[in-house]
Structure 1
């Protein structure tokens, strides 16, 4: 009974830590930052989630190239409580699950008092990479940590050579893997590493029946999620639109991404990837010491696949959130090493060198991310909330008659502008048209056709120069300028 009460106390402290962290660093949804909707991605997700609660269909009425599960999460938040607070509550739930799972992972290897250390390191990485919160990587984390915890529990508790991997775990892997695919495809790769190591171990131990049972349950979990998503979009005659937005567009997006193309981006990537370099090195050490090799191989394969998936993408800080599963596990293993073999490490020359390298890599990683976190806190203090931007949005919005608010198109205008103005754009490509058009020119072709054949009554245009010259021609021919502030211009359709 006392153990149960202690666990509840620990989990209560973890959930309190989760909400305190989010209040400060999730400025895109935190009640402390009313006039802010986070970076562009977060605002897009919020707007689409809000649209779903009003009957809009993702990809048909409002477009983005993330998976539908992300939008369903956002819609659930708006359904719980509008204007971001419901989304903040969901983030609290997800963050609380992250911290509890990390703590439970630690308990598989460590004394209880040491389990707070990986929690602290996890929060350090997040503080530097959160970028206002409400992003796909954040919502993917519990779906990564749960399979990792189950796999570690299996490897830690099962006698070596008598592998009987519970098919129920594989069912969870399949569900989590597919849910992440329908959040953001790249975020799911770490589960692939978990599944690969488990499957290889089962085959190596000639547990063929257990292998096929696990394959079947993994596929069953994946099929279950796919079926639910397919049913929703089939019922709304939008399955093709969903497949395009979630998969086909992203193939073009990945093909058009330049990855690391400048020396500055290389330096930024090198700094950001240090948690994975440390975790890879920890995995190598575990394999070399020939104890718990499966866990070592899990760390090696997970680190490598995370490294290459990040290498192929753009260099955005929030992408490095995905380094945390490997990093947290590596921290736990290093603490276990110290806890069990502290004195022996100093006495054995071969080990002291290897452990010295691991500690050095950890110190470099911590130093880099402490600097990142410090810069983040300074930026939050100096720039949030951004009141003037959203006050200007309301000024522009008040120039539009109430009856016309359903006929407003934004061009290169952040989704946060529409959230603050409480306007739902009238066309599915409602923001970032030129960015999306770089990867699929059909976006601009369709947008121009819409402007020419079914022009909206009002257009809100970003004042920065746009590449789409057809847009300027349509504005000159059909629209008149009504107002202009430091960020956007408001155009009204002329009476013909």
Structure 2
């Protein structure tokens, strides 16, 4: 990946200005996300659970409710600040689409920067196009669109660029780069701190290498600048929650509960995470494995090839441990595919001579790649699905009709289920602290389940949505306080086919109304 010369059949090409390169990356990102992003106007509804959870928290924040203190969710506060910003606009989904486009354009820009260390301008931009194809068709992304793992990708790519330049070009990090890396650490810390796994091993290797070379002054200066960057991100967050008397809630939920109660310790579930690794998709897997292995072999004699291999294997092990079977965690390994793409394009570069109309050729390849992606992207299965196909929208229509008929504003509670988008579709901010079922087992967070039952027994909300199987098993309890909205449980049951990985998963939901 260094700038060393290699045999090429290509004529010299002028280097594009950074803003021109970024413009191309932004355009590619906009085109691909407009077609393969669930927040695009061509899709009726973004049904993904995590995304809807975040938007619900954003609406709550705009409405005066603080995360962790008033509404329970365990992701980092930056996530909710971003979604709250989106909720300031009439169409939060469309605003989020542009945030997705922007963050992915940064990822593509750093992908180009990494590729440019071995390829000419044409093939470096082609690397961006291929990466857009991989992201658009990767099965791990189809599990959840617009999740934090996706937004962290530009940070991962930037860090990979810095690390590769340190290993191969022997390029020390200047004060600007060290400060930027600190800012990146700070962002990850307050978005989802477990995602720091990607940067952990390379940072340890950087420290060991620098110590071996006795660069003590550089180490101290860089570490201080990184700490300064983390503080620059952390301080406003701490001040905000402290000023609103919610700092202890932030620490308790985001750090303590995530460390001690979230997820599972089931060994089989942990081991199954390795199997889920394969849902990144066969093409992505090929580029990742090919790139990491080829890099390790090619630069083994420089004593750096094996460092990347070690970093990847440890990253994968940490990822498997933390994923607990959640496929979207594996979005974080996508940057390693850059090495495979670059290596294969180097082979093509040596065999083929580019025509003079290579700019037109790049445009044609990008357009054809977009078309090829359509049958291979699971998102396109959502094309043409109307409102009637999405139970959250159908339930929202039922609630709005009730409000219009009775001239009242009502409240809603999702009982022992995830968010699913019911709050967002109905335009309702939750009134209960435990407003949806998170991934906390009963024995690990009993107060959440006690909160669910308290919300029912005290009839906190006018409407309740839950799964039919929950109603069937808890009829004696639920029927004391709520009844089927349409008189019978059959009439109040909604069948929902929700996209899940590369297939549709069936749910039966029941809408209940408070008894007088």
The normalised TM-score by structure 2 is 0.78
* Structure 1 contact 172–221 (Cα < 8 Å) conserved: yes
1:178 Cα deviation after fit: 2.4
Number of the residue aligned with 1:285: 297
Number of the residue aligned with 1:30: 40
Give the 3 Å change call, closer, same or farther, for CA 375–86 of structure 1 in structure 2: closer
Give the 3 Å change call, closer, same or farther, for CA 17–152 of structure 1 in structure 2: same
Number of the residue aligned with 1:52: 61
Number of the residue aligned with 1:61: 70
Q: What's the secondary structure of 1:489's corresponding residue?
A: strand
Number of the residue aligned with 1:393: 396
Q: What's the secondary structure of 2:191's corresponding residue?
A: coil
Within the candidate set 319, 329, 337, 1:319 is matched to: 329
Number of the residue aligned with 1:242: 250
Give the 3 Å change call, closer, same or farther, for CA 3–241 of structure 1 in structure 2: farther
Aligned alpha-carbon RMSD (Å)? 3.3
- Does residue 302 of structure 1 match 2:319? no
Q: Which has the higher helix share?
A: 1
Q: What's the secondary structure of 1:87's corresponding residue?
A: helix
Greater Cα shift, 97-106 or 330-339: 330-339
Give the 3 Å change call, closer, same or farther, for CA 85–378 of structure 1 in structure 2: closer
- Structure 2: how far apart are the matches of 1:202 and 1:335? 32
Give the 3 Å change call, closer, same or farther, for CA 480–16 of structure 1 in structure 2: same
- Structure 1: how far apart are the matches of 2:158 and 2:169? 16
- Structure 2: how far apart are the matches of 1:384 and 1:146? 40
1:395 Cα deviation after fit: 1.5
1:339 Cα deviation after fit: 5.8
* Structure 2 contact 280–330 (Cα < 8 Å) conserved: yes
- Structure 2: how far apart are the matches of 1:386 and 1:315? 31
Unaligned stretches of 5+ residues in structure 1: 344-369
The normalised TM-score by structure 1 is 0.81
- Does residue 421 of structure 1 match 2:426? yes
Q: What's the secondary structure of 2:433's corresponding residue?
A: coil
Number of the residue aligned with 2:485: 482
- Does residue 494 of structure 1 match 2:515? yes
Greater Cα shift, 146-155 or 250-259: 250-259
Number of the residue aligned with 1:459: 463
Within the candidate set 100, 113, 117, 1:104 is matched to: 113
Greater Cα shift, 50-59 or 260-269: 260-269
Q: What's the secondary structure of 2:309's corresponding residue?
A: helix
Number of the residue aligned with 1:16: 27
Number of the residue aligned with 1:363: none
- Structure 1: how far apart are the matches of 2:265 and 2:400? 35
* Structure 1 contact 310–319 (Cα < 8 Å) conserved: yes
What are the equivalent positions in structure 2 for 1:6-405 lying under 5 Å apart?
A: 7-27=18-38, 29-33=39-43, 35-127=44-136, 128=138, 129-131=140-142, 133-158=145-170, 164-253=172-261, 256-258=264-266, 261=269, 267-270=275-278, 272=280, 274=285, 276-288=288-300, 290-291=301-302, 293-294=303-304, 296-312=305-321, 313-333=323-343, 335=345, 374=376, 376-377=378-379, 379-381=381-383, 387-389=389-391, 390-400=393-403, 401=406, 403-405=408-410
Give the 3 Å change call, closer, same or farther, for CA 229–475 of structure 1 in structure 2: same
- Structure 2: how far apart are the matches of 1:282 and 1:245? 43
* Structure 1 contact 78–87 (Cα < 8 Å) conserved: no
1:203 Cα deviation after fit: 0.8
1:106 Cα deviation after fit: 1.5
* Structure 1 contact 259–315 (Cα < 8 Å) conserved: no
1:426 Cα deviation after fit: 1.0
How many positions carry a matched residue from both structures?
Answer: 455
